[in-house]
Amino acid sequence: MEVSELVEDRGLVGVLRFADEALRLAAERCPTWGLSQEQVGEAVGLAQRVRDAAQVITAVSAGEAHSRGLAAAEGLSAADWLRTQAPTLDPREAPGVAKVAAAMTEPRWAALAAKVTSGATSVAQAAMIVRFHADLARIADPEHLQAVVDAMVEVSDVLSARELARVAAHGRASMRPPADLADEDRAMRAGRAFKKIGETAGFIDYLLRLDPEAAAVIEAAIDPLARPRPDLDWGGDTTADPRRPETRRADALLEIVGRGVAAPEGVTRTPRTQLVVTMTMEALLERLRGAGVCDNDAVLSPATVRRLACEAAIIPMVLGGRSQVLDQGYTERYFTPAQRRALTRRDGGCTFPGCTVPPQWCDAHHVTHWADGGRTDLANGALLCGRHHTVVHERGMTATVTTTAVTWHR
């Protein structure tokens, strides 16, 4: 029976069942030792072509599922639905296959769909192109983006995946913002992205893309926490911070997130990140053209600065007024906001010797632990950054607290 007759007779599912059984039987019963050198190489190449063809059929079938809404009907994402149907599908490949499947149902991707269906362009390459378009659609000039995407589709059948990735990188670098934006700040915010992109040696890799405003907020929050901090070795000597800069920044990000989700009783333990913006009053009021410059040299528009200023909270430095209890005693475990402000005024930041972490990124630590009967008041409180809070607990360190200072005993 000819291949065309087999396809017509059995249909797609029947042919796939036949191929699956035939390939598994061939792997089990056909010895490779009797193959010539040319046949060994041909077998490897043909096996890869079979795999590529199988991926194409996966994408085409997933496209049909997308058009019928099968994933949504089961309350699943397209990638998760694919994995329920094909448990052996690599989790890192599933989102790309799902994107290609959805794109193949759209008329604007007809040229790419034709190349994928014919096997001229791999599913992985098609996923790269579709992802490129999705990532830049909100922040790039539409005509420029479409021209780059069309060029990528045109050469996708002659370039390797690595070469196509290089084209994509050049395309990203050359991309222009939309020429007719009425609200450029709004468009920039819409282009923010935070996504998981893969795994490396057991670690999870993420991609974070931010506009200048968001980058300034992140850096203003992370920089104070990412500075090198002194530590103590087991012999009691001060040593240099052993962490690399990128590790310090990752630790800082985790500390920020930890503080946000671990706030007791709905009240955050630290105030909002303070973002320092330098600009003239005239520019802020839009009496003349100008912009704000952050500490990290990011440039913010006057409209953005005014919006951030609306969210600022100003706390007077007069403490101990009516309804602000500074000695909360043993009945409550957590220091109140008023107590934290008093500790901030007294300690000025982390009290560990040599540490320069500012007070807004410190914990209010019980010198005599709360579980051991320590009171939640200023005489038993001390500010410590997250790293040195851990050091103090691990070493069982104690301190002398006065009305003006905290002295740690090594």
Q: Tell how far CA 194 is from the center of its chain.
A: 4
Q: What is the pLDDT of residue 289?
A: 46
Q: How many CA atoms lie within 13 A of 134 on its CB side?
A: 15
For residue 282, the model assigns a pLDDT of 55
Residue 211 confidence (pLDDT): 79
């671990």: which residue's tokens?
262
CB 370 within 8 A of CB 394: no
Residue 315: its pLDDT value, please?
A: 27
Q: Which pLDDT does position 371 carry in this prediction?
A: 56
Matching residue, tokens 């794109």: 103
Nearest partner of 384 among 262, 255, 287, judged by Cα: 255
Edge-to-edge strands, sheet with 277-278: 277-278, 292-294, 299-300
The pLDDT, as a whole number, for residue 406 is 92
**Mean pLDDT in consecutive groups of 10 residues from the start of the chain, 410 residues:** 77 86 88 88 90 89 89 83 87 85 90 90 90 83 87 89 84 68 62 80 83 81 80 65 85 79 50 53 49 56 54 32 40 71 88 82 81 79 83 82 87
Q: Which two tokens stand for residue 249?
A: 């920044």
**Rounded Cα distance, 304 and 298, in Å:** 12
pLDDT at 200: 79
Q: What is the pLDDT of residue 392?
A: 82
Confidence at residue 8, expressed as pLDDT on a 0 to 100 scale? 81
pLDDT, tens digit, 9 for 90 and up, residues 104-132: 888 989 999 999 888 888 888 999 999 88
Cβ(156)–Cβ(112) under 8 Å?
A: yes
- Torsion angles phi and psi, residue 398, rounded to 5: -120, 170
pLDDT of residue 31: 85
- Its pTM stands at 0.49
**pLDDT at residue 361, rounded to an integer:** 76
